[in-house]
Amino acid sequence: MPKKKHDKNKQLEEILINVGLKIAKRNEGAIFAVGGNVKYKPLVAQQVKSFNVRKNPKLLESLAIMDGAVILDSNGNMKAYGVMIKSTRTIKNFGTRHSAAISASKTADLVVMVSEEDKKVKILKEGKMIMQIDALQKNVEKSVSQAVNVLESVGAGTIGAIGTSILAPTLGIALLPGIVVFGSGYYLTKVLRSWWKK
């Protein structure tokens, strides 16, 4: 991936995670689906014109706390807000937001879900949770940049057989205080070792 595109991806991921942390701390929830071909239908009239979330994270935060998800293209432009994602399945003991996030992550490039129940920001790819960030961890915002570096290193090939990680968070590797990475232990160890050497 060209460096400029890589840097833009990292910047977008950092914005989404930081906005998600603010929302979680206020005891509210949200979903951001980035890129791909997510199936959804609007729940509210789309009165806010498309904008790039890098330029206005405050507006993104306001739209995100409405009922429904925010859909972004891979460049960070808001395509829709207040939408219902068409879920392919429900998960026992979890609400519709988790089901919607998992469904969206199967076709989106990245999904960031904010859970108001446990005040955690969850990052999903390919139908699996790959990272969880605890909004209540003291100074967790200072670790977001490092977490995004690992997120960029944890590609699709690294996401392993732990499809139930959303149900069993103890199967992850604690990366930084308040941040847990999920996936195949073998590949994660390999990626994290190479990342820590940088």
Taking 80 as the threshold, does the pLDDT of residue 198 lie above it? Answer: no
Per DSSP, the three-state class of 95 is: coil
| Mean pLDDT score, 178-196 | 52
What interhelical angle do 3-25 and 57-64 show, nearest 10? 50
pTM: 0.80
| Mean pLDDT score, 168-191 | 53
Better pLDDT: 44 or 178: 44
- With a pLDDT cut of 90, the percent of the chain lying above it is 45
Per DSSP, the three-state class of 115 is: strand
Residues in Cβ contact with 9 at an 8 Å cutoff, skipping those fewer than 6 apart:
1, 152
Token pair 């090939």 is found at: 157
Instruction: Domain ranges for the chain, please list them.
Output: 3-197
Q: Do 29 and 23 form a contact (C-beta atoms < 8 A)?
A: yes
| Mean pLDDT score, 100-122 | 92
**Residue 107 pLDDT class (50, 70, 90 cuts):** very high
Pick left, alpha or beta for residue 55 (phi over 0 → left; psi -120 to 50 → alpha; otherwise beta): alpha
Model pLDDT, residue 7: 72
Q: What is the pLDDT of residues 112-155, one digit of tens each?
A: 999 988 899 999 888 888 888 889 888 888 888 877 776 666 55
Q: How far is CA 57 from CA 9, 16, 95, 136, in A?
A: 15, 8, 26, 21
**Residue 185 pLDDT class (50, 70, 90 cuts):** very low
Long-range contacts of 75-81, Cβ-Cβ distance < 8 Å, separation of 24 or more: 75/8, 76/8, 76/12, 76/15, 76/34, 76/52, 77/50, 77/51, 77/52, 77/53, 78/48, 78/50, 78/51, 78/52, 78/53, 79/50, 80/40, 80/42, 80/46, 81/44, 81/46, 81/48
Domain spanning 3-197, CATH architecture:
3-Layer(aba) Sandwich (3.40)
Taking 50 as the threshold, does the pLDDT of residue 95 lie above it? Answer: yes
In which order are the strands placed within the sheet that holds 128-134?
40-42, 78-85, 69-72, 30-34, 110-115, 120-125, 128-134, 179-181, 173-176
Q: What is the pLDDT of residues 12-35, one digit of tens each?
A: 999 999 999 999 999 999 999 999
Model pLDDT, residue 98: 84
